[in-house]
Chains A and B, each alone.
Chain A
Amino acid sequence: MATKKMAIIATKGTLDMAYPPLILASTAAALGWEVQVFFTFYGLQLLRKNLDGIKISPLANPAMPMPVPMPVFVQILPGMESMATMMMKDKMKKKGVASLEELRSLCLEAEVKFIACQMTVDLFEFEKSEFIDGLEYGGAATFMKFAGETDVCLFI
């Protein structure tokens, strides 16, 4: 059986949108797939050594289940984002959902290849020292080379 391949473009840097690429990448790797994830724009935040800056906001997110209904003018108050993030992380822990750090380590351990988009690294003036080790840096052509051979290719 030929090895299946999956390529993912991870473009989002909020807590909720950080999960799908890491869940799918770690699972596919566990199934024996060859996986590459291309991190670009806000997705680069998932490659930082410290992931504490990854947050979720109730603002402009009307689908987010809230314990009590919260009007928009309350959501904009200072500290609401941190509070929502804390509550979400707490709930995830209680439900046995892996932390982003754990999922990321599981990906790297299973030899998922992480590629950081060089253009957006330069655009946001990130230092490579802010990111975890073991990354490759490349552009669209690097991604397309692998993406063109894959069975599953996702933009998240």
Chain B
Amino acid sequence: MNFDKEFDASGLACPLPIVKTKKALNDMSSGQVLRVVATDPGSCADMAAFAEQTGHQLLEQSTQDKKFIFFLKKA
């Protein structure tokens, strides 16, 4: 999937993947896509909850080699 920006949250524990994803989205424009890579298993549920509450769209979520990959479209 194409994306405009990437944020690597590997090695970070709760709440940093979410708090820093929000920071990464701050300087993006509406409609742009952010790819987030995380290793915290809690981030799977948290990223969905983050998207639901903020209006950003979680386009896709997958797991590759113990890494969790998210594509978020900025609202």
Contact = CB atoms under 8 A, between A and B. Distances in A.
Interface stretch (B11-19, B29-37, B57-65, B66-74): B11-19
A98 interface: yes
Nearest to A23: B15
Contacts, number: 38
Interface stretch (A25-33, A54-62, A70-78, A132-140): A25-33
Counting contact residues on chain A (CB < 8 A from B), the size range is: 10 to 19
A31 B15 contact: no
A91 B40 CA distance: 16
Interface string A84-100: 00000000000111100
3 closest Cβ pairs, A-B complex: A30-B22, A96-B13, A27-B15
25 contacts: A1-B55, A26-B15, A26-B19, A27-B18, A27-B19, A30-B15, A30-B18, A30-B19, A30-B21, A30-B22, A30-B23, A30-B50, A31-B50, A31-B53, A95-B13, A96-B16, A96-B39, A96-B40, A97-B13, A98-B12, A98-B13, A98-B15, A98-B16, A106-B19, A110-B22
Interface of A: 1, 23, 26-27, 29-32, 95-98, 103, 106, 110
